[in-house]
């Protein structure tokens, strides 16, 4: 089903928010829910997948999805 991206680079399925990589945050994504996983697609390419959550109003995030944003912010990401 087509979905809209939230301002926090997430898609919503059954009240739950699933993260999408910030550098793949296309405005026209499709989300596919399977019994054990959720895939976010742009065209035919899977840009994110997560284990399916059957709770309500949960945030299911992968911290690596937000890494490009941290690298853009001055002082937000420093190399050791």
Cβ atoms within 10 A of the Cβ of 60, count?
Answer: 16
Cα Rg of the chain, angstroms? 13
**What pLDDT is stored for residue 80 in this prediction?**
45
pLDDT of residue 32: 95
pTM: 0.84
- Residue-level pLDDT, tens digit, the chain, 80 residues: 788 888 889 999 999 999 999 888 888 899 999 999 999 999 989 999 999 999 999 999 999 998 877 777 656 545 54
Nearest Cα neighbor of 17 from 62, 47, 66, 72 is: 62
Q: Hey, where are the domains in the chain?
A: 2-72
At residue 1, the pLDDT reads 77
């Amino acid at each position: 089903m087509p979905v809209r991206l939230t301002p926090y680079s997430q898609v919503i399925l059954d009240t739950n928010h699933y993260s999408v990589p910030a550098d793949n945050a296309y405005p026209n994504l499709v989300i596919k829910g399977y019994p054990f996983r959720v895939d976010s697609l742009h065209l035919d390419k899977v840009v994110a997948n997560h284990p399916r959550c059957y709770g309500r109003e949960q945030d299911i995030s992968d911290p690596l999805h937000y890494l490009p944003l941290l690298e853009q912010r001055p002082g937000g990401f420093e190399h050791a």
